[in-house]
């Protein structure tokens, strides 16, 4: 399973309909948050994405992206959580999070492991690798590329039978890509019985950024790009000034990267009620599947084959 739940899709200020940044990602046994703006814990309750987090990935430390972690971790502690929680983020993750999470408060019921990441240094999680990439924002900021591990190739029972391999544990060995020895001593290699390994899914989250090459490289051929689009064409100068992207620029980035799907998020309050101009402007640049996220949007990403 690879499911994304958009918990907050507003930039800078919450509105009646949109909370500050937060994205829940559920993948196999792991449950992640990407950013945790104020009010994220209520959004998790509202949309049922679950408190059973294994890690939080921060893109940067503007207040609208992390303040929600303070109260949320307190709640997890009150609920008696014991499992450690990993937190990843760029500088100054350690200094800043240690200051707000632990100083002057009762200790939490669980360990928080803060990992300050450098762009390009991959983070291994169960079944996937997360790589932070350097984006262009007013302060140190990264986007996150999530690459699911490859899966074994398709197994062909008819070919296994034709090769004289009896149904049973030997099939499993072949499926895992191992050469097997039959009871009679003959050796059968997995090639010809099992197809080549299948690629996993790739999801890229831009975080707050001007359009940049690093995002294009990280999102090359991705199944999904979640890109910020704080502004529309009318606010192009403002986008440059505040180091954000317009919807059109997000569309260009998605096209340059050749992604399969684009979801726009992090909207200025002026597009809260009607994001249709943003959708139209991005669609002029990007011909693929595209939508503007709303709070509560759930996406299930199917396997590529
Ligand atoms: Zn922001
Ligand atoms: Zn920001």
What is 40-109 written as a DSSP string?
Answer: HHHHHHHHT--S--SEEE-SB--HHHHTHHHHHHHHHHHTT--S-EEEEESTTHHHHHHHHHHTTSPPPS
Q: What is the Cα–Cα distance from 305 to 203, expressed in whole angstroms?
A: 16
pLDDT digits (tens, 9 = 90+) for 207-247: 999 999 999 999 999 999 999 999 999 999 999 999 999 99
Quote the CA–CA distance of 231 and 252 in Å, as a whole number. Answer: 14
**Cα of 49 from ligand 1 centre, angstroms:** 22
272 is catalytic: no
What is the whole-number distance in angstroms between the Cα of residue 277 and the centre of ligand 2? 22
What pLDDT, on the 0 to 100 scale, is given for residue 105?
74
pLDDT of 144: 98
Ligand nearest to the CA of 10: 1
Phi/psi at 8 (5° precision): -155, 130
Task: Provide the strand spans (E) within the chain.
Answer: 2-8, 22-27, 30-36, 55-57, 85-89, 112-116, 123-125, 128-134, 142-148, 180-181, 187-188, 202-205, 224-228, 261-265, 289-292, 298-300
pLDDT at 100: 84
Residue 264 alpha carbon to ligand 1 centre in Å: 13
Q: Of the listed 64, 208, 223, 295, which one is catalytic?
A: 64
Which positions of the chain have pLDDT values less than 70?
A: none
- Which ligand is nearest to the Cα of residue 64, counting in written order? 1
What local confidence, expressed as pLDDT, does residue 102 receive? 80
Q: How far apart are the CA of 61 and the centre of ligand 2, in A?
A: 7
Q: Which ligand is nearest to the Cα of residue 138, counting in written order?
A: 2
User: Nearest-5° angle of CA 268, CA 215, CA 285?
Assistant: 65
Q: How far is the CA of 180 from the centre of ligand 2 (A)?
A: 54
Strands of 128-134's sheet, edge to edge? 123-125, 128-134, 142-148, 202-205, 224-228, 261-265, 289-292
pLDDT of 199: 92
Closest C-alpha among 61, 132, 52 to residue 95: 61
């Amino acid at each position: 399973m690879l499911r994304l739940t958009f918990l907050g899709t507003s930039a800078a200020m919450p509105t009646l309909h949109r909370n500050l940044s937060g994205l829940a990602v559920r993948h196999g046994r792991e449950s992640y948050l990407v950013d945790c703006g104020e009010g994220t814990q209520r959004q998790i309750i509202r949309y049922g994405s679950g408190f059973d987090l294994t890690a939080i990935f921060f893109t940067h430390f503007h207040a609208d992206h992390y303040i929600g972690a303070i109260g949320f971790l307190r709640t997890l502690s009150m609920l008696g959580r014991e499992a450690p929680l990993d937190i990843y983020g760029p500088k100054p993750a350690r200094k800043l999070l240690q200051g707000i999470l632990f100083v002057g408060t009762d200790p939490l019921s669980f360990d928080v492991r803060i990992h300050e990441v450098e762009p390009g240094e991959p983070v291994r999680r169960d079944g996937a690798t997360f790589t932070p990439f350097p984006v262009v924002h007013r302060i140190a900021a990264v986007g996150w590329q999530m690459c699911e591990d490859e899966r074994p190739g398709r197994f062909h029972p008819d070919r296994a039978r034709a090769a004289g391999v009896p149904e049973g544990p030997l099939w499993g060995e072949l499926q895992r890509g191992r050469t097997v020895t039959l009871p009679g001593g003959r050796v059968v290699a997995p090639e010809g019985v099992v197809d080549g390994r299948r690629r996993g899914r790739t999801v890229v989250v831009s975080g707050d950024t001007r359009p940049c090459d690093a995002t294009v490289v990280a999102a090359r051929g991705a199944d999904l790009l979640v890109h910020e689009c704080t502004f529309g064409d009318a606010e192009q100068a403002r986008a440059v000034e505040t180091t954000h992207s317009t919807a059109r620029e997000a569309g260009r980035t998605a096209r340059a990267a050749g992604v399969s799907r684009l979801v726009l998020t992090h909207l200025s309050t002026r597009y809260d009620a009607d994001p249709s101009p943003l959708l139209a402007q991005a669609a002029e640049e990007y011909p693929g599947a595209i939508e503007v996220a709303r709070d509560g949007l759930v996406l299930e990403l199917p396997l590529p084959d």
